[in-house]
Amino acid sequence: MKNSFSLLFYIKRVKVDINGKANIYFRITVNGRRSELSIRRKIDINKWNTQAGKAKGHSEESQKINQFIDIIQNKIYKIHQNFVENHTSYSASTILDHYLGKNEKNKMLLVLFEEHNTQVEKLIGKDFAPGTAERYKTAKMHVEDYIGKEYHVTDIPVKDVDHKFITGFEYYLKTVRNCSHNTSIKYITNFKKIIRIAYANDWISKDPFFNWKARLKIVDREYLSKEEIQKMIEKGVHTKRLDQVKDIFIFCCFTGLAYADVKKLCNNDLVIGIDGEYWIKTKRTKTDTRSNIPVLPTAAAILNKYADHPEVINSNKLLPVSSNQKMNAYLKEIAGLCEINKNLTFHLARHTFATTVTLSNGVPIESVSKMLGHKSLKTTQHYAKILDRKVSDDMMILREKLNHKSTEDNQDSSDKKRSV
């Protein structure tokens, strides 16, 4: 059944004030049922055009009243149109409620952020890694601090987030929090997810991120050279704990495993591959993608070394891995002992595997990408871009080929002259 709908602007002549003016009302009628409301404007009853539902004449007062009536009329027609297009049942009162904003769920930004983070926390190990949950918590903390400093309130409605808020938040992260460009962009991207949730649920009418683009700067990641790896392997350290950290770091240099992945590595992850050799087959904690890595001799020797370690015997783990904080602290000490002038962190081992151990030795980038568990080849290609030595080596081979060809050509030319 098709609903009848009408909108009328009128005055109540019986309620004229002492100045001869009456309040202007509008009336919504749907299927014979009415809802009405004052527009909070008055007009002289002699200046009202009942038939047109507008003020008479071209005076400044009449023009302002008629402009205001047009705005209200357009809003109500739009509300009615949305009901019709979405095939949603409606009445005069529901249209009026939408006009008054009574239907709007005035969602608060930080409340939404907290609800999201709580859900992420419950899905750790299923859909999210612990590190992801921690980043969302940190992002929320930064947004909360920014709102307090910039807006002097504890929270704001999510509908108040606009492009100015986003650019202001980015500036805050880079200045007040002293975050790097890429770190700032990552926090804003975390925050962007909350806005997208609000947009998808119609809690906001437009996406404030529409004109904001995330552009990460390419950073040349450090990695160990072949000589530095060998120096670390050969270096004897004075304590058992340092030796253990050094071994696990080197193990990751030859497997490409990140800290979270080597820490959870268990007996079931070590299998015999199609070549009859040992392989590590595991899922990356960060992306939940599969990594298939042949165990190289150096990595195999480290696994054998710790096979009888108490932590390995009494658990299902392959290696005794300390906390990431401790590992990185000990690596600084090891770097000093080995005279390696680089910021030695555990993740640097993964970069070393990608560059020095694999790509530099001619392993195809597609194979490296699969072993690293990258979702996109673009991620792996970044490592290839920083291998100046690899480019130099490849060009050296080309030079030798060209020189060899040139020598052969000269030899052939000499032989021909002699025969003549």
Q: Is residue 221 part of a domain?
A: no
Render pLDDT for 352-410 as a digit per residue (tens, 0 to 9): 998 889 888 888 888 888 898 888 787 777 776 655 556 666 677 788 888 876 666 66
Q: Does 132 lie in the same domain as 77?
A: no
Q: Does 242 lie in the same domain as 188?
A: no
Q: Which of 188, 189, 195, 187 is nearest to 158 (CA)?
A: 195
Beta carbons of 248 and 262 less than 8 angstroms apart? yes
Q: Is residue 328 part of a domain?
A: yes
Q: Is residue 210 part of a domain?
A: no
Q: What is the domain-level CATH number for residue 328?
A: 1.10.443.10
Q: Rounded to an integer, what distance in angstroms lies between the CA atom of residue 11 and that of residue 27?
A: 11
Q: Is residue 315 part of a domain?
A: yes
129: helix, strand or coil: coil
The per-residue DSSP string of 270-313 comes to EEE-TTSSEEEEEE-TTT--EEEEE--HHHHHHHHHTTT-HHHH
Q: Is residue 299 part of a domain?
A: yes
Q: Is residue 208 part of a domain?
A: no
Q: Rounded to an integer, what distance in angstroms lies between the CA atom of residue 260 and that of residue 376?
A: 20
Last residue of a domain, one of 81, 100, 119: 100
| pLDDT at site 406 | 65
Last residue of a domain, one of 100, 135, 153: 100
| pLDDT at site 301 | 94
Q: Does 352 lie in the same domain as 231?
A: yes
Q: Does 233 lie in the same domain as 382?
A: yes
Q: How many domains does the chain have?
A: 4
Q: Does 308 lie in the same domain as 282?
A: yes
Q: Does 283 lie in the same domain as 258?
A: yes
Q: Does 398 lie in the same domain as 381?
A: no
Q: Does 70 lie in the same domain as 53?
A: yes
Read off the pTM: 0.57
Last residue of a domain, one of 100, 127, 146: 100
Q: Which residues of the chain have pLDDT under 50?
A: none
Write the secondary structure of 17-65 as one string of H (helix), E (strand) and C (coil).
CCCCEEEEEEEEEECCEEEEEEEEEEEEHHHEECCCCEECCCCHHHHHH
Q: Does 138 lie in the same domain as 84?
A: no
CB-facing half-sphere around the CA of 230: CA atoms within 13 A: 4
| pLDDT at site 408 | 63
Q: Does 76 lie in the same domain as 177?
A: no
Which structural domain, as residue segments, surrounds residue 45?
5-100
34 DSSP β-pair partners: 29
| pLDDT at site 11 | 95
Render pLDDT for 71-127 as a digit per residue (tens, 0 to 9): 999 999 999 998 888 787 888 988 988 888 765 556 889 999 999 999 999 998 788
| pLDDT at site 397 | 79
Q: Does 190 lie in the same domain as 115?
A: yes
Q: Does 325 lie in the same domain as 233?
A: yes
Q: Rounded to an integer, what distance in angstroms lies between the CA atom of residue 35 and that of residue 91?
A: 9
Q: Is residue 211 part of a domain?
A: no
Q: Is residue 142 part of a domain?
A: yes
